[in-house]
Structure 1
Amino acid sequence: MTALAQLPHRRAFSLAWPAIVGNVTVPLVGLVDTAMLGHYSDATNIGAVALGATVLSAIMWLTGFLRTGTTSLVGRALGAGRDDAAVAHAQRAAMLAVAIGAGAVILQWVAIPGIMSVLAPAGEVRDLAIQYAWIRMASVPAALLTLVISGWFVGAGDTRRPLAIVATVNVVNLGLDVAFVGGLGWGAAGAASATAIAEWLGLALAVVLWWRAASSPVRAAVRRWRGRGLRSGWRRLAAMNTDLFVRTAILYAVLTFVTAYGARLGPDILAANAILMQLMLLASYGQDGYAHAAEAMVSREIGRRDVPAFHRAVAASALPAVAIGAVFSLLYLVASGPFIAVLTSLPEVTAAADEYIGWVVWLPLASSLAYLCDGVFLGSGRTRAMAVTMAESALLVFVPALLAGLWWIDDARNHDLWRAFLLFNVARGVFLGIAYARITRRGAWLQGAHA
């Protein structure tokens, strides 16, 4: 009991609760889109949004290193008392965000139709998905720059301002969704337009909040775009971002496979899987709150080179993270019907979602260790281990589990898909936990990470 009392529980909670609230509102963009279309449109539009959002989500997931990498580098720099280095890290990330956003906007006219031809057969669903993705693409530069600013805030130990940003985005998106989809009947195009407008307003708010929070020395450092520190740190940024990109690419490939496989099973299964995936994402973003707390705390302690404090920060985040996963699993166990009813009133889609909801019920609890370890390894700069363990989980667990289901278990194909996905998330936590124990045993947390 004495050891538990000495853990930084209050610090972890003060960082976690705004992150939990903010993270839970992130999938509300998808939930609101799905709910509006589920009640005011049809399965074709729901499926189109699911496929179109897959492309936009791919960009946001694959560029998630703009947030996570910024948090890790900024947090460790601030922990070491190097404010100028922290500013330079954020500046480089912002420049990278602008370059990626501009490239995405330029290439979208060719890339999106090509991607959709792989994800879905020709027809109305594919056409609507292309239209949805083209409209949403206009907001990519704003969303990427917002990631960088949010990364700075979390690295600085501030999770309340990111909450204000995402809450604003989702409130605006909700209002515009009701107007465009429910009122004007624009379907998938209306859902895309609502989100695009909300993302740009979110960036404007993020810039204002950052500038008001920044100290005079930090503002002065931001204006020095030609400093040596800005020119010389790209290799370090590239090394970390490459690891994070590989790790996220593998994760997103698995998620995309789940969506694409459902598309091949028919529009009702595709729509049902889209609803179940939204429920899974809602839980995962809620669980990420303590992962963000761990990320912010451990980055500071690694920057200070205080390994005992690092382990105390991990322990203070671990128990609440598992508890939140258990709460979500229990919630889905007892109230899955009302959750599905909120998202759709289409009988065929509801029946399909009811059939497969059992796999989603256990996902939050089964994934708790993976989400927590993600925050720990991000904050400590151990991104290479994240990439390796993600590859192991996909190649050694997800693929064999899916093939075993299809060949030997003789279950329905969508059940095989969700079973493999559940085991994949369990494996992620197990492999990262083994890596944590191995690094701790060697006493190597201050060695070999991207500093």
Structure 2
Amino acid sequence: MSSLCDAWRHAPTQRRVWALAGPMILSNLSVPLVALVDSAVVGHLPHAYQLGAVAVGGSLYSLLVWTFGFLRMGTTGFAAQACGRGDGGALRQLLGQGLLLAGALALLCGLLVVPLLPALLTLMQPGAELDALARDYLHIRLLGLPAALASYALIGWLLGSQNARAPLLMLLTANLLNVALDLWFVLGLEWGVAGAAWASVIAEWSGALLGLALASRRLREYLGRADWQALRRWASWRPLLAVNRDIFIRTLALQSVFLLLTVQGTRLGDATVAANALLLNGLLLTAHALDGLAHALEALCGHAIGARDRLALRRSLWVAGIWSLLASLGFAALFLLGGQWFVDLQTDIAEVRAIAHAHLPFLAALPLLAVWSYLLDGLFIGATRAREMRDAMLLAFALCLPLAWLLQGLGNAGLWLAFLVFMLTRSLVLGAFFWRIERRGGWVPAER
């Protein structure tokens, strides 16, 4: 308890946490804002299948992009530790590696996804109108994939270099442009679902180009030269690729859960999948806000580990943890008391509203169960300990998949109940890994 009070009263730690968390919360909240605007704009078109098409197409695109979230998470920890050591050459080399990986993965996905798209949509068993619109939406969104993956690498690198304002500027520029173009293309030009897709593509490229300029400016603050010849040697790639591999497996399992949620919701009807999309927008809002504190923890813990400062690591963890708990309580109250307004703002389709209203208690419970997994992910990423993150996710997935099958008779309520148990299990397992490493004193490596 004394260490908690010491951390909470330590003004420099509070300032460092919020110097990073504040901009990241604002930038992260702009991400679900795009999904909310897409839903709100398309949700006021006359047919439920139009909203369903954006929900299905957007879910598939998000599954694809978020699967490569390791481009951000893997980069942040290594950049933060290099920054803690004051190693400008390593920062330059890491940025180059991140952008090269982003380009290669975007090319690979472009070659593989389009042929697999019909099979993915067939798995969901959508109606004919929804199927056609979802295909058109996703084909357009794929044009922005290289920019989306490059932005992941850039944001991770900038955050690891202790600069949260640059990611804020990137994301706000891209997402506010997306909102403006969404309204213009869908409502002004009447391009419908395709207009929402084109708005996102233009915004993604705008954000990536701005990120390149901001990263170039940040590099001027660090002395050192990158060993570009080292990129030809496997040894220089092994640590980054090992962490990225584990984060990739972890993210693939997580996105499989969201895909299964969408697939099962689609089988329950167009109105149900649309209602679930509106509720998941609430989860996205919560996750992106709480992730702002987790991202701050990534950068601060990575910096403390690079500088071998155990006290700074402990203080950062306590301060970010307390603020995360308070924020999760606030979101739970928001959805419990104002959830109907949140749903009604996104659509005026009566059937979709009714289904979403009935499942609001599940949404209100999610922040309290999931907050610990977000927070501990930040610590493990900053420490570049991705193996524990991977194992926790796989264990939660393996335990909750049979539960989802057993609860099919409860319909959509069973689906959401299984999802809640998945989030709780993930938090508990990560907590167990944290406690084991803490008891062994393994967060900060011993001096050699």
Please tell me the TM-score bracket, short chain as reference: over 0.9
Pick one of 404, 408, 413 that aligns with 1:402: 404
In 1, the alpha carbon distance for the partners of 2:350 and 2:208 equals 39
Query: What whole-Å deviation, never above 9, does each CA across 1:18-76 have from its counterpart, x for those lacking one?
Result: 11111011111111111101113421011111111122111211110101111111111
Aligned-residue offset at 1:405:
2.7
In 2, the alpha carbon distance for the partners of 1:2 and 1:305 equals 19
Match of 1:300 in 2: 303
Match of 1:96 in 2: 101
Pick one of 158, 161, 171 that aligns with 1:156: 161
The answer (yes or no) to whether the contact 1:89–1:233 under 8 Å persists in 2 is: no
Aligned-residue offset at 1:135:
0.1
Matched, 1:86 2:88: no
Secondary structure, aligned partner of 1:185: coil
Pick one of 286, 289, 294 that aligns with 2:292: 289
The answer (yes or no) to whether the contact 1:359–1:422 under 8 Å persists in 2 is: yes
The answer (yes or no) to whether the contact 2:343–2:353 under 8 Å persists in 1 is: yes
Pick one of 269, 274, 279 that aligns with 2:282: 279
Pick one of 151, 158, 177 that aligns with 1:146: 151
Give the 3 Å change call, closer, same or farther, for CA 228–67 of structure 1 in structure 2: closer
In 1, the alpha carbon distance for the partners of 2:406 and 2:133 equals 35
The answer (yes or no) to whether the contact 2:362–2:417 under 8 Å persists in 1 is: yes
Match of 1:200 in 2: 205
Aligned-residue offset at 1:399:
2.1
Pick one of 236, 250, 256 that aligns with 1:247: 250
Give the 3 Å change call, closer, same or farther, for CA 229–88 of structure 1 in structure 2: farther
Match of 1:438 in 2: 436
Aligned-residue offset at 1:77:
1.4
In 1, the alpha carbon distance for the partners of 2:44 and 2:276 equals 17
TM-score (norm. length: structure 2): 0.94
In 2, the alpha carbon distance for the partners of 1:251 and 1:119 equals 18
Secondary structure, aligned partner of 1:88: helix
In 2, the alpha carbon distance for the partners of 1:288 and 1:3 equals 20
The answer (yes or no) to whether the contact 2:308–2:445 under 8 Å persists in 1 is: no
Give the 3 Å change call, closer, same or farther, for CA 179–3 of structure 1 in structure 2: closer
Matched, 1:5 2:3: no
Identical aligned residues as a percent: 36
The answer (yes or no) to whether the contact 1:269–1:349 under 8 Å persists in 2 is: yes
Secondary structure, aligned partner of 1:394: helix
* Superposed counterparts of 1:122-141, under 5 Å: 123-141=128-146
In 2, the alpha carbon distance for the partners of 1:384 and 1:352 equals 39
Aligned-residue offset at 1:217:
5.7
Give the 3 Å change call, closer, same or farther, for CA 3–183 of structure 1 in structure 2: closer
In 2, the alpha carbon distance for the partners of 1:15 and 1:440 equals 25
* Superposed counterparts of 1:58-77, under 5 Å: 58-77=63-82
Secondary structure, aligned partner of 1:27: helix
Q: Which runs of 4+ in 1 moved over 6 A?
A: none
Give the 3 Å change call, closer, same or farther, for CA 445–279 of structure 1 in structure 2: same
* Superposed counterparts of 1:98-117, under 5 Å: 98-117=103-122
Query: What whole-Å deviation, never above 9, does each CA across 1:307-349 have from its counterpart, x for those lacking one?
Result: 2321221111100011111111111111111111110001111
The answer (yes or no) to whether the contact 2:373–2:430 under 8 Å persists in 1 is: yes
Match of 2:178 in 1: 173
Q: Unaligned 5+ residue runs, structure 1?
A: none
Query: What whole-Å deviation, never above 9, does each CA across 1:388-424 have from its counterpart, x for those lacking one?
Result: 011111112x224324434xxx5x3100110111111
Match of 1:374 in 2: 377
In 1, the alpha carbon distance for the partners of 2:157 and 2:166 equals 10
Match of 1:416 in 2: 414
The answer (yes or no) to whether the contact 2:250–2:390 under 8 Å persists in 1 is: yes
The answer (yes or no) to whether the contact 1:250–1:390 under 8 Å persists in 2 is: yes
Give the 3 Å change call, closer, same or farther, for CA 444–435 of structure 1 in structure 2: same
In 2, the alpha carbon distance for the partners of 1:325 and 1:315 equals 15
Secondary structure, aligned partner of 1:11: helix
In 1, the alpha carbon distance for the partners of 2:114 and 2:157 equals 32
The answer (yes or no) to whether the contact 1:37–1:46 under 8 Å persists in 2 is: yes
TM-score (norm. length: structure 1): 0.94
Give the 3 Å change call, closer, same or farther, for CA 379–367 of structure 1 in structure 2: same
Match of 2:55 in 1: 50
The answer (yes or no) to whether the contact 1:56–1:136 under 8 Å persists in 2 is: yes
Aligned-residue offset at 1:81:
2.2
Match of 1:187 in 2: 192
Matched, 1:357 2:360: yes
Pick one of 305, 309, 330 that aligns with 2:333: 330
The answer (yes or no) to whether the contact 1:108–1:134 under 8 Å persists in 2 is: no
Number of residues paired by the alignment? 441
Aligned-residue offset at 1:122:
5.6
Secondary structure, aligned partner of 1:138: helix
Secondary structure, aligned partner of 2:229: coil
RMSD (CA atoms): 1.8
Secondary structure, aligned partner of 2:190: coil
Match of 1:311 in 2: 314
In 2, the alpha carbon distance for the partners of 1:2 and 1:152 equals 31
Match of 2:424 in 1: 426
Pick one of 15, 18, 22 that aligns with 1:17: 22
Q: Which amino acid aligns with 1:428?
A: R
Give the 3 Å change call, closer, same or farther, for CA 358–395 of structure 1 in structure 2: same
In 2, the alpha carbon distance for the partners of 1:288 and 1:376 equals 12
Query: What whole-Å deviation, never above 9, does each CA across 1:70-96 have from its counterpart, x for those lacking one?
Result: 111111112122221122122111101
